[in-house]
């Protein structure tokens, strides 16, 4: 099987000839490196997140990007100007330094922006990019986060979000409802487009929200929207890269086909065995903890084989990935993972 055939089997809950091992395109080391080329030969795949949709804004909205210096650092500042006010955020090397939403007025401005944003299909662009990829890569349609996760992760930040939910509850809920309308349109477009697997970039971890808010804000969106995608033949995966134990029963009942970037302890709080017991029918695209790549080769090999035994004793419903950061010792350690997967392959023959 080539990469696409392996992933197709994985997404279908069938057994590929080798458990897939992939890396985000954004984390990939130089592709012309001989070790990287050999890893491609040995089965390493690359996931390229390509939208099947495009965004446009009402003429009343102006978006401005600036490079600014602050305290000796170069920052990226983005400003949104609207008839009802303006908001701005800054980043340093893709990490937020200031979020868009800090006041109740900021929420009203962002709600205006969302209500005056249009989404449209971009199917041909996706197909062209997918066709141009090398054999070791596959294009994956990626959706943004669901409404509350968008507010928490992208617009307000964890530090402010809990306070805003208490102090600006009406404004938070108004923005949530506007984002929900937009998300429904997003689902409609993605459902009608190409791509078998749909990645929903939730970046969810339970300690930031908890079971009550999960049940109130996330689960209803999943229950309304994900079946639309599934009815169109899509496999729906959520990027859940943190702690999940306190919501595992809620996740079990949610219409989520695949848990992506599933991370065992110490970053997460469920082993693959515990996750499999909680979610026997879900697919796991598991992230190997960065610290594991620093283990001696023999220990890393054993760890990969143990995780296969925990998560996929029959070789089904499991893949591994590099999804958070390129391991510092990737040159020595990632080939060990591929060797372990090749060893496991013989057990399922």
Whether 107 maps to a domain, the answer reads no
**70 pLDDT higher than 90:** no
**pLDDT of the residue at 225:** 98
- For residues 135 and 244, membership in a common domain is answered with yes
Whether 243 maps to a domain, the answer reads yes
Whether 108 maps to a domain, the answer reads no
- For residues 280 and 226, membership in a common domain is answered with yes
Query: How distant, in Å, are the alpha carbons of 47, 197, 264, 319 from that of 130?
Result: 11, 13, 31, 21
**pLDDT of the residue at 25:** 97
The domain spanning residue 24 has which CATH number?
3.20.20.210
**pLDDT of the residue at 224:** 98
Whether 86 maps to a domain, the answer reads yes
Percent of the chain with pLDDT over 90: 92
**pLDDT of the residue at 69:** 84
Cβ atoms of residues 25 and 325 within 8 Å: no
Whether 152 maps to a domain, the answer reads yes
- For residues 78 and 177, membership in a common domain is answered with no
- For residues 52 and 77, membership in a common domain is answered with no
- For residues 157 and 268, membership in a common domain is answered with yes
Cβ atoms of residues 114 and 82 within 8 Å: no
Query: How distant, in Å, are the alpha carbons of 141, 202, 207, 270 from that of 242?
Result: 22, 11, 8, 9
pLDDT classification of 93: cutoffs 50, 70, 90 = confident
Residue by residue, DSSP assigns 249-264 as HHHHHS---EEEEE--
Whether 169 maps to a domain, the answer reads yes
2 phi and psi angles, rounded to 5 deg: -85, 180
The rounded distance, in Å, linking the Cα atoms of 131 and 62 is 34
Residue in 56, 17, 29 with CA at minimum distance from that of residue 331: 29
Domain count across the chain? 2
CB atoms within 10 A of CB 322: 24
**149 pLDDT higher than 90:** yes
- For residues 86 and 130, membership in a common domain is answered with no
Cβ atoms of residues 168 and 160 within 8 Å: no
- pLDDT, tens digit, 9 for 90 and up, residues 171-205: 999 999 999 999 999 999 999 999 999 999 999 99
- For residues 75 and 210, membership in a common domain is answered with no
Residue in 298, 256, 4 with CA at minimum distance from that of residue 136: 4
pLDDT classification of 211: cutoffs 50, 70, 90 = very high
Q: What average pLDDT does the segment 91-107 reach? A: 93
Question: Poorest-confidence range of 120-124, 157-161, 221-225, 276-280?
Answer: 157-161
CB atoms within 10 A of CB 45: 21
Cβ atoms of residues 259 and 237 within 8 Å: yes
Q: What average pLDDT does the segment 318-334 reach? A: 96
- pLDDT, tens digit, 9 for 90 and up, residues 235-284: 999 999 999 999 999 999 999 999 999 999 999 999 999 999 999 999 99
**349 pLDDT higher than 70:** no
- For residues 165 and 83, membership in a common domain is answered with no
Q: What average pLDDT does the segment 59-80 reach? A: 91
**293 pLDDT higher than 90:** yes
The rounded distance, in Å, linking the Cα atoms of 169 and 97 is 24
Q: Identify the domain containing residue 75 by its residue range.
A: 59-99
Cβ atoms of residues 100 and 106 within 8 Å: yes
**345 pLDDT higher than 90:** no
């Amino acid at each position: 099987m080539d990469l696409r055939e392996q992933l197709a089997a994985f997404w279908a809950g069938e057994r590929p000839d080798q458990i897939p091992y992939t890396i985000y395109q954004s984390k990939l080391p130089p592709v012309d490196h001989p070790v990287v080329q050999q890893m491609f030969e040995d089965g390493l795949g690359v996931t390229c997140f390509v939208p099947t949709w495009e965004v446009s804004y009402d003429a009343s909205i102006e978006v401005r990007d600036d490079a600014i210096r602050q305290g000796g650092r170069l920052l990226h500042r983005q400003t949104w100007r609207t008839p009802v006010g303006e908001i701005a955020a800054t980043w340093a090397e893709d990490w937020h330094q200031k979020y868009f939403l800090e006041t109740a007025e900021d929420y009203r401005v962002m709600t205006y922006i969302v209500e005056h944003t249009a989404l449209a299909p971009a199917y041909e662009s996706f197909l062209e990019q997918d066709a141009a990829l090398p054999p070791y890569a596959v294009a994956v349609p990626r959706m943004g986060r669901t409404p509350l996760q968008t507010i928490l992760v992208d617009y307000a930040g964890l530090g402010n979000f809990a306070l805003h939910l208490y102090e600006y509850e009406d404004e938070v809920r108004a923005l949530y409802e506007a984002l929900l309308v937009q998300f429904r349109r997003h689902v409609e477009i993605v459902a009608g487009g190409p791509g078998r697997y749909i990645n929903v970039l939730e970046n969810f971890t339970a300690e930031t929200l908890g079971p009550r808010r999960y049940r109130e804000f996330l689960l209803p969106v999943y229950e309304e929207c994900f079946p639309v995608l599934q009815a169109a033949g899509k496999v729906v995966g959520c990027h859940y890269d943190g702690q999940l134990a306190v919501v595992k029963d809620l996740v079990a009942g949610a219409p989520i086909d695949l848990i992506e970037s599933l991370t065992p302890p110490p970053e997460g709080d469920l082993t693959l065995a515990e996750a499999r017991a909680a979610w026997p029918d879900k697919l796991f695209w598991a992230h190997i903890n960065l610290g594991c790549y620093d283990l001696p080769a023999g220990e890393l090999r054993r760890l990969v084989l143990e995780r296969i035994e925990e998560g996929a004793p029959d070789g089904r419903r499991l893949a591994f990935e590099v999804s958070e950061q390129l391991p510092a010792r990737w040159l020595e350690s990632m080939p060990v993972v591929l060797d372990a997967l090749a060893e496991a392959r013989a057990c399922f023959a």
